Amino acid sequence: MRKIITCCVATILAFSAVAQPQLTPKNIDKVIKAMTLEEKAHLVIGGSHAGRDKQLAGEVGYTGKIIPGAAGVTCPISRLGIPSIVVADGPAGLRIAPTRKGDPQTYYCTGFPVGIHLASTWNDEIIYNVGAAIGQEVKEYGVDVLLAPGVNIMRNPLCGRNFEYYSEDPLLAGKTAVAMINGVESHGVGTSLKHFAVNNQEINRLANDSRLSLRALREIYLRNFEIAVKEAQPWTVMTACNFVNGRHTSEDPGLLETILRDEWGFEGLVMTDWNTGYNVADQISAGNDLMMPGRLRNYHEIVAAVQSGKLAESDLDICVKRVLELIVRTPRFNGYKFSNKPDMEAHAKLPREVASEGFVLLKNDKASLPLKEKKVALFGATSYNFIAGGAGSGNVHRPYVVDLRDGLIGNGFTLYEKLDNKYQKYMAEEHKRLAPILKMRKWFEYKPCPNELLHPHASIIDAAQSDAEVAVITFGRHSAEGFDRHIERDFNLRPAEEILLTAVSREFHKVGKKVIVVLNISSPVEVASWRDKADAILVCWMPGQEGGNSVADVLLGKVSPSGKLPITFPIRYDDVRSAPNFPRNVAETGMNQSRTNMPTAGKTYDVKNIDYTNYEED
């Protein structure tokens, strides 16, 4: 009897071992054959829906399991040895939650200069080094795929996400992406090239139809992706939220199969942007392998579609295979023991070095820079509240931000104390005023910045007549995912800024002192109408956590601002080719405007530049 039982147990164990293969890089097809339909459906929709509060299900940024604050995970299938893998933002540095319940450690990530800033360097080696540093942090913090770089064309200076992207020029954008991808992936983690394709505005991003000619599509809006795919082969590509010529990008086999895979030879996985697409069966049939971050209804839709014959299980198997091919490449699958201790000290030196390479000197009359003067009258709210980067998925939880005030003081300048004290007191009041407003804003939303000093004339006259030798003014512009910029509020100087600049220029020039303007901006601003009031204009973009030090290095002449514009600065906004075909001064509701006028059922084409945008360039 004992021999019979032993034989039966052995047979059962042997059968189980055969029936339940454990995933390896060499047995992916065997594992797929062992999977149930239900397991396949779970694997291709991401894992953020599993075991979560229903109100949070499918929302980016709330992945509490594995790595808090990461954008999403894939579903594990433990019986087949398939683990979850972790994907996280972002283009200027890794974005994860800095604090964890019951954990005294703070999980900061290095805040690097933003995408438009990196592209201004025109320097592949520097961009590769930034990517490599980000890749090391991605790996040591336990993330498998970085959701970057963003390579979309800067079609219009008002696009709220331009700070994440690289250029209006497809060649510069593509080559910059290649350097970033190769840098990140040098650490054995993946990237996700995004947003494929023609995603050039944030207003109604989830439902806008980008309508353009085949020539414009090929020569402008796909050429950047083509360069990045052919020269770097990123692990993944992320489809855009919008439609292109009437078809949702994630449901378009012409984009995903014919162009991306057949023509360009892309070998990796395609995933959706978060919570996008209308028909999951069409997405799978089109070659969109992974639907993120995972919605439970998608699981039921896939199972029902296969069972009804609307979706061929063989098409589903192709997507499952690509997910598994991605998983077996990752550090998590290969047993890497991440340390949670990347080399932050070494990485902190890099933003300061990189930033000045991307600074662009728009004007420098009579060699006004570098400064020989060391005592500065410092103006502008942004001088005391430097903008290191944008909001949304492009944000980074940095350990610190060096503003211009501290950067100047720390590098040998002295400030006119009376003016400095006035600004510090004023900024404390502004931060107090803004605190309840900022508390109400969600993590991805546009952040209002402090207003300029009111009634500054007396302070300006006093500073000009003091022993201060030069005036430095900083004007800043914040930007965010889900919002496009306004002409009056963001592109042009605001009334208070114009008053400040005009008065400073008049009073300081009257006594023979120079006026330097620093632009801490996310995208082009109007300069032509006021440039004669400044002796030098320095664009420092959004320079990351060391911004104030980097600007001080340039003002001192320690470093040459060797950046070149990756995007045109128009004389007037109406000179922009796409101005008639871009959302113009859409009233901000405080909500994520990428859902503006989003239909609840069926695509609508009622509102120009909202429901659809005609690209007249060719």
Active-site annotation, residues: 273
Which region, left, alpha or beta, applies to residue 111 given φ > 0 means left and ψ of -120 to 50 means alpha? beta
CA distance 471 to 493: 18
CA distance 108 to 544: 13
- Tokens 């001088």 correspond to 383
Q: At what angle do helices 495-510 and 457-464 cross, to 10 degrees?
A: 30
Q: If you write DSSP's letter for every residue of 496-533 in order, what string do you get?
A: HHHHHHHHHHHHHHHTT-EEEEEEE-SS----TTTGGG
Query: What does the block give as tokens for 208?
Result: 């806008």
3-state DSSP of 91-121: ECECCCCCCECCECCCCCCCCCCCHHHHHHC
Look at residues 48, 44, 72, 116 and name the one whose alpha carbon lies nearest to residue 393.
72
Per-residue CA distances from 94 to 8, 149, 547 (Å): 52, 11, 18
CA distance 407 to 382: 13
Look at residues 99, 98, 121, 139 and name the one whose alpha carbon lies nearest to residue 351.
121
Look at residues 376, 336, 405 and name the one whose alpha carbon lies nearest to residue 504.
376
Which region, left, alpha or beta, applies to residue 212 given φ > 0 means left and ψ of -120 to 50 means alpha? beta
Q: At what angle do helices 124-140 and 170-185 cross, to 10 degrees?
A: 40
CA distance 456 to 60: 43
Edge-to-edge strand list for the sheet holding 612-614:
247-248, 243-244, 209-211, 612-614
Pair 313, 36: CB distance under 8 Å: no
Query: What does the block give as tokens for 500?
Result: 């400040």
Amino acid (one-letter) located at 532: D
CA distance 423 to 413: 17
DSSP 389: S
Give the other-Cβ count within 10 Å of 439's Cβ. Answer: 7
Amino acid (one-letter) located at 56: L
Strands 470-476 and 269-271: unpaired
DSSP 586: P
